[in-house]
């Protein structure tokens, strides 16, 4: 079946949605956009798009059955509810809401109206994430016990509306929501404690350099770090498992796995080894033949699979991949992230 999309908010991400759909999803026609900014409307016209003169005109268009919302975070809740009540199926950009309570209200309206409601957690289709998810789920290096996930930049304070609390700015709601969503999607166990350090390096209203620590009921721990003030990068992923370690250095997915070589003779002299670190047993290098260096597993990913899933759900052919209930778990963890920072200590939970 063919479907027709309208996009609310034609800024950085709204225009990305339009281009991505036009290029890769032929069965989804882009019917038009609405934006409150004249400059954005002019740009849309230049790009050959129909521009609705008002939100009401867009919502009254009976041909539009799917609306993507890509506006600053504080407008997500009212717009999602308005679109659902107008009978539209809705994709909302992340973070879907500013907190779990807002999202509960949105979910209630989606249930009441029976419309599709999903959140654009596109980073579940990132190649680096798909590699780590496969490695963790299939226990390619034994049981994982500590996962570090980082995105680090050095371009300074949060840009534009992302610098203001009223707009739902700050790093937790910007990248934190992606990295936490990835962890909850990958690890099949409740979160039992959350700690966080939210730093305002640039002295603004919102956090710009953060660390979040999660413990899962199954014993796995994870740490996410995001910064706008880091001048020496660290790996995108570093995963410790019982039989080895995996590293993904960058977005290009350079990296490797190093695994115990169970074939090798493993006779350890219990003597102290004299190294540049001084005399040590634990930190001395291990004999090379006791480990194997392996390439990262191959995976195929495509961001447009998110939209393909939405269309398959609308046609009754698939289950929704990014469900609002999953986003609710993410928002509950995010509420706990802010609470832990406020209290200056970790908080126990069962999320
Ligand atoms: P942006 O500032 O580039 O664009 C936002 C647009 O929304 C602007 O053109 C603005 O005029 C318009 N707008 C504001 N209020 C409006 C309203 N009430 N009605 C209609 N239009 C309105 O911001 P952006 O970077 O595109 O971010 C938009 C959303 O997309 C945010 O929620 C952000 O978190 C999300 N985002 C997601 C990803 C991702 O990877 N999933 C990446 C970037 C941004």
Please state the rounded mean pLDDT for residues 292-301.
Answer: 96
pLDDT at 283: 85
Q: At 166, which CATH number?
A: 3.30.360.10
Please give the pLDDT value at position 55: 98
106 and 176 co-located in one domain: no
Cα distances from 194 to residues 70, 261, 285, 316, in angstroms, run 29, 35, 34, 38
Identify whether residues 228 and 262 lie together within a single domain: yes
Q: What is the pLDDT of residues 228-254, one digit of tens each?
A: 999 999 999 999 999 999 999 999 999
Same domain membership, residue 128 and residue 112: no
Nearest CA to ligand 1 atom 1: 11
**pLDDT at site 268:** 67
State the pLDDT at residue 281.
81
- pLDDT-based confidence at 269, cuts 50/70/90? low
| Shared-domain flag, residues 107 and 223 | no
325: left (phi over 0), alpha (psi -120 to 50) or beta: alpha
Residue 221 lies in a domain: yes
Q: How far apart are CA 296 and CA 293, in angstroms?
A: 10
Taking alpha carbons only, the member of 176, 153, 173 closest to residue 162 is 173
- pLDDT tens track for 33-49: 999 999 999 999 999 99
Residues with CB under 6 A from ligand 1: 8-14, 34-37, 40, 70-73, 75, 93-94, 120, 122, 160-161
Is residue 270 scored above 80 in pLDDT?
A: no
Ligand 1: centre distance to CA 158 (Å): 14
Cα 237 to averaged position of ligand 1 atoms, centre (Å): 28
Does one domain contain both 179 and 269?
A: yes
Give dist(CA 113, CA 286) in Å, integer. Answer: 61
Instruction: Tell me, yes or no, whether 174 and 289 share the same domain.
Output: yes
Helix (H, G, I), strand (E, B) or coil at 191: strand
pLDDT digits (tens, 9 = 90+) for 106-158: 999 999 999 999 999 999 999 999 999 999 999 999 999 999 999 999 999 89
Number of domains in the chain: 2
* φ/ψ of residue 40, rounded to 5: -70, -40
Q: Is residue 23 part of a domain?
A: yes
Q: Which domain holds residue 70?
A: 3-123+303-318
- Asked if residue 323 is part of any domain, the answer here is no
Mean pLDDT of 74-102: 98
- pTM assigned to the model: 0.97
pLDDT (tens digit per residue) in 303-316: 999 999 999 999 99
CATH code for the domain in which residue 78 is found: 3.40.50.720
More confidently predicted of 271 and 328: 328
Same domain, 154 and 87: no
Structure ipTM over 0.95, yes or no: yes
Residues 307 and 223 in one domain: no
């Amino acid at each position: 079946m063919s479907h027709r999309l309208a996009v609310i908010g034609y800024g950085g991400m709204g225009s990305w949605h339009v281009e991505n759909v036009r290029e890769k999803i032929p069965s989804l026609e882009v019917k038009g956009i609405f934006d409150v900014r004249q400059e954005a409307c002019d740009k849309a016209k230049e790009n050959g798009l129909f521009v609705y003169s008002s939100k009401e005109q867009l919502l009254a268009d009976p041909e539009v059955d799917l609306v993507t919302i890509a506006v600053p975070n504080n407008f997500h809740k009212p717009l999602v509810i308005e679109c659902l009540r107008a009978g539209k199926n809705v994709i909302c950009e992340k973070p879907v809401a500013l907190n779990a309570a807002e999202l509960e209200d949105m979910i209630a309206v989606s249930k009441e109206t029976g419309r599709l409601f999903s959140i654009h957690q596109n980073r579940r289709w990132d190649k680096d994430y798909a590699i780590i998810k496969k490695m963790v789920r299939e226990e390619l290096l034994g049981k994982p016990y500590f996962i570090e996930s980082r995105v680090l930049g050095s371009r300074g304070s949060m840009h534009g509306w992302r610098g203001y609390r009223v707009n739902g700015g700050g790093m937790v709601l910007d990248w934190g929501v992606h990295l936490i969503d990835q962890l909850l999607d990958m690890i099949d166990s409740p979160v039992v404690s959350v700690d966080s350090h939210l730093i305002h390096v640039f002295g603004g209203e919102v956090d710009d350099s953060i660390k979040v620590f999660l413990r899962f009921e199954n014993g796995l721990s994870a740490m996410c770090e995001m910064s706008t003030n880091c001048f020496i990068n660290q790996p995108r992923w570093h995963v410790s498992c019982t039989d080895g370690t995996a590293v993904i250095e960058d977005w290009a997915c350079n990296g490797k796995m190093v695994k115990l070589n169970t074939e090798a003779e493993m006779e350890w002299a219990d003597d102290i080894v004299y190294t540049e670190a001084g005399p040590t047993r634990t930190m001395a290098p291990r004999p090379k033949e006791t480990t194997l260096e392996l390439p990262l597993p191959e995976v195929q990913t495509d961001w447009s699979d998110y939209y393909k899933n939405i269309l398959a759900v609308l046609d009754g052919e698939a289950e929704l991949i990014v469900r609002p209930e999953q986003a609710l778990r993410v928002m509950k963890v995010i509420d706990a992230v802010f609470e832990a920072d406020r209290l200056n200590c970790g908080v126990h939970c069962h999320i």
